Amino acid sequence: MSALPQEPRNDLFELTGEAGTEPAFELEPLHPADDSDSARQNELFLPDTDPEHPENTPQIEFDGMAPPVFTVALHDGREVRFQHAHSLLESLESQDVEVHFQCREGYCGSCRAQLLEGDVHYTEEPMAWLNDGEILPCCCIPKSHLKIKL
């Protein structure tokens, strides 16, 4: 049994106007979209608070353990600090350091930076290829004071 060719759907638009030498017609939707359905959201949702300046919350302090505040020195001489952010990229952005990025999850590698000094921990294993001495700020946090080249 062979399948019959399907006719194109013509129930979405209606051709109106008069036929002539010049195109004088328009396609009009048969079922106009409701404005509430056609509205698109084009907003960027950012956190309500600055991750490097969180609200004061009680934290457990351990004897002999230094608070997790790390200095991040940039190759151009600027210095920022990492303390409460979820990633090094988030911390750098909140302190007005421009870092190129795309995915924020370690897939693309566009935020790649050179680690000149220090050590990092990856909160998510990066999928992008990394050469020796490179880090992805989008998915790592410092384990010590850092010096990086963006």
**pLDDT tens track for 34-80:** 555 555 555 666 667 776 766 665 555 566 665 578 999 999 999 99
The pLDDT value recorded for residue 48 is 73
**% of the chain exceeding 90 in pLDDT:** 47
Closest CA to 82 of 128, 147, 150: 147
Burial degree of 78 (CB within 10 A; 0-12, 13-18, 19+): exposed
Residue 144 identity (one-letter amino acid): S
Report the predicted TM-score, pTM, of the whole model to 2 decimal places: 0.57
How far apart, in whole angstroms, are the C-alpha atoms of residue 134 and residue 22? Answer: 62
Virtual CA dihedral for 30, 35, 36, 40, nearest 10 degrees?
110
Q: Taking 90 as the threshold, does the pLDDT of residue 127 lie above it?
A: yes
Q: Taking 60 as the threshold, does the pLDDT of residue 130 lie above it?
A: yes
How far apart, in whole angstroms, are the C-alpha atoms of residue 139 and residue 133? Answer: 15
Question: Coil, helix or strand for 80?
Answer: strand
The pLDDT value recorded for residue 95 is 92
* Beta-strand relationship, 134-135 and 113-117: antiparallel
